[in-house]
């Protein structure tokens, strides 16, 4: 079936695939790309204060002519200014009165996370964000935040793919226990960054069985973990390829296990690069 929604721990609904405007799009006008994504069928748009392109996201949404209720908009706080003033600035650029999801972008670039989260809780209560969450939090950081949080984060957006699944397994289990939805970015690294690695063989085998592309198999693998996909492309063809994953039969348990085990081996390059958290 097509991509649907997941119920967050505060009762709000979030589409399970999002078009991201980070990566190589930082600081660029993404109006045309977001417009293509909307035309292709994306309703969840993911941006951030740090990306410096919220205004062009707004332009694409405005030009679509669709209602605000047709979109789920995520943006993130980068700690360059106070939480509330940053969100108010983002809302102005996004031409919105409320974002659907507001995230702490990266705990490694800021101090006083607990105090910041208290401000996030106020923002949610005041209605400036329907849901609040975090991004790039590892297991220890999640555990520390949960010691003082009165509102449990609705989501944790992390880099997630077969080559870092083993190191993130505990985090996924912890988030599931507390009702925190995990979102994945950079899931296609086995193809874009680490081609020729151990994951290629089981991915290609599954692709052959399904009549799908390796890209679609990796995104199907992400789905199998109950993780929301955040992906991007400048190509409408690729956007449609991503969305078509929702119509594919699921991977078998054997295929998922084979990808898990291959990913645990990891290409040599991955051993030294996967520990670097990205914005």
Length of the chain, please? Answer: 279
Determine if residue 178 is labeled as part of a ligand binding site: no
Range list of H helices, the chain: 31-40, 54-64, 83-94, 113-126, 139-148, 165-177, 189-192, 200-210, 214-224, 236-243, 253-265, 268-273
> Among all chains, which residue has been given the structure tokens 């119509």?
247
Integer CA distances (angstroms), 49 to 114, 207, 269, in order: 20, 37, 31
What lies within 8 Å, CB to CB, of 57 at 6+ separation is: 21, 30, 31, 34, 45, 47, 73, 94
Cα(174)–Cα(184) distance, rounded to whole angstroms?
16
Residue 21: DSSP 8-state: -
Provide the 10 A C-beta neighbour count for residue 271: 10
**CA–CA dist 83, 105 (Å, integer):** 11
Q: 102 catalytic, yes or no?
A: no
Q: Which of 51, 185, 194, 242 is catalytic?
A: 51
Residues 20 and 185: beta-carbon distance below 8 Å:
yes
Query: Could you tell me which residues are annotated as the binding site for substrate?
Result: 105
Q: Which sequence positions are flagged as catalytic? A: 51
């Amino acid at each position: 079936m097509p991509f649907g929604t997941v119920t967050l721990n505060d009762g709000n609904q979030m589409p399970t695939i999002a078009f991201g405007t980070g990566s190589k799009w930082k600081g660029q006008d993404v109006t045309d790309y977001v417009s293509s994504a909307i035309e292709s069928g994306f309703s969840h748009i993911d941006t951030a204060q740090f990306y410096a392109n919220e205004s062009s996201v707004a332009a694409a949404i405005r030009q679509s002519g669709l209602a605000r209720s047709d979109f789920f908009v995520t943006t993130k706080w980068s700690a360059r200014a106070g939480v509330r003033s940053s969100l108010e600035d983002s809302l102005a650029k996004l031409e919105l009165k409320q974002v659907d999801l507001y995230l702490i972008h990266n705990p490694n670039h800021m101090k006083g996370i607990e105090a910041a989260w208290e401000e996030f809780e106020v923002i949610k209560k005041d209605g400036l964000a329907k849901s609040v969450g975090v991004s790039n939090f590892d297991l220890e950081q999640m555990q520390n935040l949960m010691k003082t949080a009165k509102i449990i984060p609705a989501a944790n957006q992390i880099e997630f793919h077969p080559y870092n699944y083993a190191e993130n397994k505990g985090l996924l289990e912890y988030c599931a226990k507390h009702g925190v939805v995990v979102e994945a970015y950079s899931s296609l690294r086995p193809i874009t960054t680490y081609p020729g690695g151990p994951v290629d063989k089981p991915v290609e085998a599954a692709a052959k069985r399904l009549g799908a592309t390796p890209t679609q198999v990796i995104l199907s693998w992400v789905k199998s973990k109950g993780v929301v996909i955040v992906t991007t492309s400048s190509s409408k063809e690729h956007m449609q390829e991503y969305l078509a994953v929702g119509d594919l039969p699921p991977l078998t348990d054997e295929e998922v296990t084979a990808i898990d085990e291959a990913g645990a081996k990891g290409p040599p390059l991955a051993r030294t690069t996967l520990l670097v958290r990205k914005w």
